[in-house]
Chain A
Amino acid sequence: MTQPNANVYIEALFEGNEKVILKMYQEILPKVAGFIIKNKGTQQDAQEIFQKALYQLTARVRVKKFKINTSFEAYLFTACKNLWRRELNNRKREVRNDGVFELVSEEQDNGKAILEQERWELFEEKINSLSESCKELLKLYFKKTSYKAIVEKFNYANENTAFQRVFKCKKRLADLVKLDKRFQELC
């Protein structure tokens, strides 16, 4: 079935068009639920996350003049995935009683979630602008692959070469992120 473009959905949220909003629930929520249920969540968790993602999207559009560059569904699915990771992280911290819990208002919490989503998008954008080899190298590096394994995979002369390559790619990525004017707001 053809989906309306992102603007139609966004306008529906601002106009309170229940018919179109219901269509979002019917078409996109099952996919979000599939992901969340597979990752330690429930149908109810999925619905809550879905609602938060829609709500936060309206604020991004209104306050930050945000425009969706992909499909509406792809954006919302990613936003929900990130919100669910955020939720799991909060639950884990609660269980571990990690550090002192600051009392944050719901408004602040929603605002933080938006900026964290923006940070995620910024990182993705910068990673995708790296060369294919840098992308692969950093993926292995951050996944704690040993330099020995990296040397073998990339046919480098030795571990020192691998270290230098990782250094260059990591520095390039860090510089790209730091030079972006959005980063100051997101760190």
Chain B
Amino acid sequence: MNRENGARTLVLGIGNLLIGDEGVGCKTVEELSRRYIMPPGVACVDGGTAGFELLSMIDNKEHVILIDALRNDMEPGTVVMVEGEHVPKAFLARTTPHQLGICDVLAAAQLCDTMPKRLTLFGVEPKQMDVGIGLSPQVEAGMEKIISAVVDQLRHFGYEVKHNGIKSEH
């Protein structure tokens, strides 16, 4: 069935593709899947704006890497990394069209003891959040940083992530 069920590591992009930079999580996962050949232990999933459907995706994962737009009053395009127990708190402190959903999903996972051993969030400070499809140049640059950081992390944990020769153009 779904490939993500067999994987131990999940790269999960979340966000709304229809609201400009809000879609950066989805777009990053799309680019990762396009440019790299992921090993069987890694699944890249576009979680979109989903809520509780995501709970089953993080079941039995050792490591979940979340990617999302995160408003934190920084320069647009700034990329931050949040880890472990600070990840749910990062979502709790913010309201976006989907993030309270993620917060509740993580709470449910904690209650069920299905939280992954490692949890990493890469957040990008958005610039434009108007209705429309496409990222601002600043956030697109931020996305490139995240793509490198995710690939580095996966390689650090022993995964063989091969570039398939596709250049970075969107």
* A and B pair up: no
Binding site for B on A (CB under 8 A): none
Binding site for A on B (CB under 8 A): none
